[in-house]
Structure 1
Amino acid sequence: MADRSSEEIERMLAGGKHRKRRWLWVVAVVALLGAGGAWFWLAGSEQSGGVSYVTEAVTRGDLTVTVTATGTVEPTTEVEVSSELSGTLASVEVDYNDTVEVGQVLARLDDTKFNAQVANAEAALAAAKAELLQAEATQREATELYDAQAELERRGVVNHSDFVGYVAARDRAVAAVQAAQASLTLAEANLALEKDDLEKTVIRSPIKGVVLDRDVSAGQIVAASLSAPTLFTLAEDLSKMQLLVDIDEADIGQVEVGNRASFTVDAYPGEIFPATITQVRYAPETTDDVVTYKGVLAVDNSQMLLRPGMTATATITVDEETGALLVPNAALRYAPPQVVEDTGNGAGGLVGLIMPSRPGSDSATATGKSVWVLRDGSPVEVAVTPGASNGKLTIITAGDLTEGDQVITDQRDGAQ
């Protein structure tokens, strides 16, 4: 009996020791979680409460808005000279870069065949003239016989049946004269055509300019049966050229005829050439799903530095303002973060009780029609009306802003 009592006492003491150990572990875990939760909350409070703002002053000054486009330098007038006739080139009388005048001979085709055709047409014309003279003589003879027989027929001396033959002869003579006149007209037209072809064997310059390209040499055969081949490329007055640029569809609404521009070419680094917009074409050009519109700029090339085909990068001035109120574009893009309550997703039970949620933040969306001004250390939203922009600064046309106001462009947490 005494042994049984001693065993029960030992079991009770052992169980008490185990329960004591479990309670010690629970207390330790609670203490650690509580310390972690306090640190978490304090860290969040410090981060949200220590915000510093990045500001820039509102300024007043001049603003230039530009549009950039690329293109090529081209002659103002460029003409491709072809041959309407087929044949062998007897001579080529100009070369690359030669200056030519209107009507100057560029090349000559072998004209042997064309001279023969002209001679043949002249002979046909002479025959037609002779036929006309013969027909006219026959007509005069038939007319005189008709008149004599008509008088005799009136007196009753000639039978009427015989008189009918004289009438028919006269009418045939009149018709023969008309046919001869038509043949003469046809012969004259054929001769004119043959002479025109003979004249076209001499290929002449239609403009005053310079030879940019020459695609033929003496002895070469020209075949103009299917399409007229290009023999020479001429440019008119290289001292006045044009720049053809591709303007993006996003910028085309700002570009107008008369806008000033400047451009550069790779051949002359650092050299800036002036130009003026003379035409903005309506026809779109699509390349790789990118829509552009062709702009034409007049270029003074009196120094003859520019050459056709040079690639150029143009800067077109589309707007200029002086003494305008200016804010940085970053101020129009800034919006303060909105404070939200972080409810948490995984914290529950004992941990959720020990580590409560802390406030967080969510970014707001800037409208581009207001700025935030730092006044007395606090951000204040000011509605504005933005105007033209050059990509860095924007003109403010209306709003409660004055020169020197500090507009917020960004913010930093105190922990950073």
Structure 2
Amino acid sequence: MKSSYKKILIIAGIVVALVLIWFLFIRKKEEPVVLQTQKPAKGYIAQSVTATGRIEPVDTVTVGTQVSGIIKYVYADFNSKVKKGQLIAELDKSLLQATLDQARGTLLNAQSQLVFAQNNFGRQNLLFKTDAISKADYDTALNTLNAAKAQVKSAEAQVRSAEKNLSYADIYSPIDGVVLNRNVSVGQTVAASFSTPTLFVLAKDITKMEVEANVDEADIGDVKSGDRASFTVDAFINDQFAGTVEDIRLHPSVSSNVVTYTTIINAPNDDMKLKPGMTASIIIYTKEVNNALLIPAKALSFTPDSALMKDYEIVGKVGHKGNKKRSGGQGGNAPAGSAGNGGANDNSQALHTAKSRKDSSGVNKQTAIVWVLQGKKIVRKKIQTGLNDNTQVEVLSGLTVDDAVITGVTGGSSSSSTAAAKPGASPFMPQRPRGGGGGRR
């Protein structure tokens, strides 16, 4: 009996010891609830459109030949700098010179025939005036003279044509520029019978390049001439080049049922880093606002829950996750849940729809709900938002720089509070560099 009693006491002591060890050392103490807040700040925010394109010279000229022949000399090569009127190639002139000599011989013969016809007509004219010959003989002499004159004109035209063809054997540069491509070599035969063969491709000025961006039809409506743009190329991945939208070509391109419009962006190339044919990743800033009032985007996703009521007084109607309504659809009666998990979807659908602040009419304001910490009170506030780049949101009205906007919760045992503090942006979406936020995807 005593042994059984001792066993019970030993077991009870072990249980008490384990409970004390768990309570003192193993049990995770509940961390105090701490609200993360951030005050609105002035800053820059933009809406942008992304595209890909190619670097091309602003002006290129294709140099060909109007006559056929064999390339005898080439005086310019790839990357050669040439001046307007500079001789860059020469064709073999032997056949062209022979044609010219033949035409000149024909001209001399025609001129000789003209002299004979003029002398003969002079004699026939004197005889006709004295009625020594008939009118028919006079007309024959006059016709022979006119035919000789026409033959001389025809021979002169043949000489001019042969001289011109001979001059075409010398290929001159039509502009000041750089040789981008050379398609011929010495000894190569070029035939200009049906189409003009390309000998050289010249770029007028490679210090001024342009980007031919392919902008999707869904985004082209936001792009206009004068918009600022930036782009990168694979060769200089850490360098960002600046440009300006110059033109939007109306002719669409269709590839795999995707319609794109070629948008021309001028790009200064003073440092000569950009080369023709490079692939560019482009960001076109369609809306930009400087000195805007900004709050973190995750503030729109925060919704207080019952776990916070122990330490704070919640002022305002707290929505439920199951009651999802558009924040702008019901005005002041919209539930706070529209700014929570359900509201995050609505906010994502409304991204980048606000027009620039420069547009005095038609500014598309979005309604959202945020919660502001005032001492021990969590106060619900309705705000008007503008641009949203998934990191920051432009606040048009409803907040001041002194408001402490709640962005999330740390500590406590409620997992829903920390879950609600997640930002609306997907962590798997690529992040833009500064100023590239708000781009369409």
Aligned match of 2:139: 171
Aligned match of 1:107: 89
Asked if the contact 1:88/1:221 (under 8 Å) is kept, the reply is yes
- Residues 53, 225 of structure 1: alpha-carbon distance in 2 compared, 3 angstrom cutoff: farther
CA distance in 2, matches of 1:330, 1:107: 66
- Residues 147, 125 of structure 1: alpha-carbon distance in 2 compared, 3 angstrom cutoff: same
Q: CA deviation at 1:119?
A: 0.5
Aligned match of 1:141: 123
CA distance in 2, matches of 1:64, 1:116: 70
CA distance in 2, matches of 1:412, 1:148: 133
Matched residue type, 1:204:
Y
Aligned match of 2:346: 366
CA distance in 2, matches of 1:193, 1:393: 72
CA distance in 1, matches of 2:41, 2:249: 38
CA distance in 2, matches of 1:73, 1:415: 47
CA distance in 1, matches of 2:82, 2:154: 38
Aligned match of 2:106: 124
CA distance in 2, matches of 1:215, 1:281: 30
CA distance in 1, matches of 2:217, 2:418: 45
Asked if the contact 2:296/2:407 (under 8 Å) is kept, the reply is no
CA distance in 2, matches of 1:89, 1:211: 18
The structure richer in helix per residue is: 1
- Residues 393, 414 of structure 1: alpha-carbon distance in 2 compared, 3 angstrom cutoff: closer
CA distance in 1, matches of 2:259, 2:417: 47
CA distance in 1, matches of 2:418, 2:181: 70
Q: CA deviation at 1:314?
A: 2.6
Report whether the alignment pairs 1:71 with 2:53. yes
- Residues 291, 366 of structure 1: alpha-carbon distance in 2 compared, 3 angstrom cutoff: same
What are the within-5 Å matches in structure 2 for residues 278-317 of structure 1? 278-317=246-285
What are the within-5 Å matches in structure 2 for residues 226-245 of structure 1? 226-245=194-213
Report whether the alignment pairs 1:85 with 2:64. no
CA distance in 1, matches of 2:247, 2:367: 37
Asked if the contact 2:299/2:370 (under 8 Å) is kept, the reply is no
Q: What secondary structure does 1:72 align onto? A: strand
Asked if the contact 1:371/1:408 (under 8 Å) is kept, the reply is no
**CA offsets, 1:270-313, max 9 Å, x none?**
22222222222222122222222222222222222222222222
Moved more, 320-329 or 235-244: 320-329
What stretches of structure 2 of length at least 5 have no aligned partner?
1-33, 304-318, 324-340, 351-365, 420-441
Asked if the contact 1:334/1:366 (under 8 Å) is kept, the reply is no
CA distance in 2, matches of 1:85, 1:391: 63
Q: CA deviation at 1:338?
A: 6.3
**CA offsets, 1:168-188, max 9 Å, x none?**
222333332222222222111
Q: TM-score, normalised by structure 1?
A: 0.68
- Residues 394, 143 of structure 1: alpha-carbon distance in 2 compared, 3 angstrom cutoff: farther
**CA offsets, 1:40-94, max 9 Å, x none?**
xxxxxxxxxxxx9998765543323333322222222222222222222222222
**CA offsets, 1:114-172, max 9 Å, x none?**
111000101111122222222222222222222222xxxxxxxxxxxxx8x63222233
Asked if the contact 1:332/1:370 (under 8 Å) is kept, the reply is no
Asked if the contact 1:100/1:209 (under 8 Å) is kept, the reply is yes
Q: TM-score, normalised by structure 2?
A: 0.64
Q: What secondary structure does 1:185 align onto? A: helix
Larger Rg: 1
Asked if the contact 2:299/2:405 (under 8 Å) is kept, the reply is no
Which among 279, 290, 293 is matched to residue 322 of structure 1? 290
Aligned match of 1:393: 392
Asked if the contact 1:80/1:232 (under 8 Å) is kept, the reply is yes
Report whether the alignment pairs 1:195 with 2:159. no
Aligned match of 2:76: 94
Aligned length: 327
Aligned match of 2:150: 182
CA distance in 2, matches of 1:306, 1:244: 13
Asked if the contact 1:58/1:407 (under 8 Å) is kept, the reply is no
Asked if the contact 1:54/1:412 (under 8 Å) is kept, the reply is no
CA distance in 1, matches of 2:171, 2:265: 33
Name the % identity. 34
Matched residue type, 1:373:
V
Moved more, 296-305 or 330-339: 330-339
